Chain A
Amino acid sequence: QKEVEQDPGPLSVPEGAIVSLNCTYSNSAFQYFMWYRQYSRKGPELLMYTYSSGNKEDGRFTAQVDKSSKYISLFIRDSQPSDSATYLCAMSDSGGYQKVTFGTGTKLQVIP
C-alpha cells in the first residue's frame, strides 16, 4: 500500500462548482497535512496546512482532516478558471525539518 494515495483525475468542473479533492494515507506517524497547488512546469505553492483533525478555512478553501480514517480533503467553493492546476496533498510526521511526502496530485480544470 502506498504511503499517500490521491486520485490523479483529471477533474473537470464548471465555473462556480464546489470541488472536492481527497487523499488517503497509511502512515499513522503523519501529523502535519498540507495542500499545494502546482501549475504546469512550476514549483509547488503552499495553499494550506493543518495539524489537527477537523476543518480549517481560508477564503474559498477548506481543508479537512480525519486522522481516525487517515483521510484528508480540500474543498474549493465557487471555483474559478484560475484554480485550474494540479493539487498535491502532502504530509509529514512532525514539524520542523522533516521531509514532506506528496501524493501524486489531482489535475483540476475549471471551465468558464
Chain B
Amino acid sequence: EPEVTQTPSHQVTQMGQEVILRCVPISNHLYFYWYRQILGQKVEFLVSFYNNEISEKSEIFDDQFSVERPDGSNFTLKIRSTKLEDSAMYFCASSTGSSYNEQFFGPGTRLTVL
C-alpha cells in the first residue's frame, strides 16, 4: 500500500541553525501539506502546496519557513533559523485533491531545537 515517507525520523539542531525536513508524498497525489504538533498539543496546519506554489499558509508559517518540491518526488520544509519553540513533530501529508480531501500523513519528523 502506498504511503507517505519522511526523513529523518529525528533531527536535533542548535538554535539559529537551518534545517530541512524531507518528505516523499504518495506518487499520484497532487496536493502536499505540512502540519506540526507540539508535544501535548493539537496537530496544526502550516502550509499547503499545489502546482509548485503555496496554496494556503497559516500564521505560523512566517518568513523563516519555506517549502519546495525540488524534483518529481520530494517535498521539503526548510526552517532558516530555528528557535526553541520550533521543537515539535512535523508531519507531511498528501492528497489527490478529490472532493473528499483524504489527506494521508507520514510518520513525522521529530525536531528538537537546543
Task: Identify the stretch in B11-19, B42-50, B62-70, B75-83 within 8 Å (CB) of chain A at 4 or more residues.
Answer: B42-50
Establish whether residues A102 and B42, one from each chain, have CB atoms under 8 Å apart when the complex forms. yes
Establish whether residues B107 and A96, one from each chain, have CB atoms under 8 Å apart when the complex forms. no
Q: Which residue of chain A is the closest to B92 with respect to CB atoms?
A: A43
Q: How large is the interface on A (under 10, 10 to 19, 20 to 34, 35 or more residues)?
A: 20 to 34
A-B contact count (CB 8 A): 70
Mark A79-101 against chain B: 1 for CB-CB distance below 8 A, else 0.
Answer: 00000000010101011111111
Give the one of A32, A88, A97, A102 with max B CB within 10 A.
A97
B97 interface contact, C-beta 8 A: yes
Contact partners of B56 in chain A: CB under 8 A: 97-99
Q: How many whole Å from A61's CB to the nearest CB in chain B? A: 16
B58 interface contact, C-beta 8 A: yes
Q: Which residue of chain A is the closest to B110 with respect to CB atoms?
A: A41
Q: How far is the CA of A36 from the CA of B42 in the complex (A)?
A: 12
B interface with A by C-beta (< 8 Å): 4, 31, 33, 35, 41-45, 48, 50, 55-56, 58, 89, 91, 95, 97-108, 110
A interface with B by C-beta (< 8 Å): 32, 34, 36, 41-46, 49, 51, 88, 90, 92, 94-105
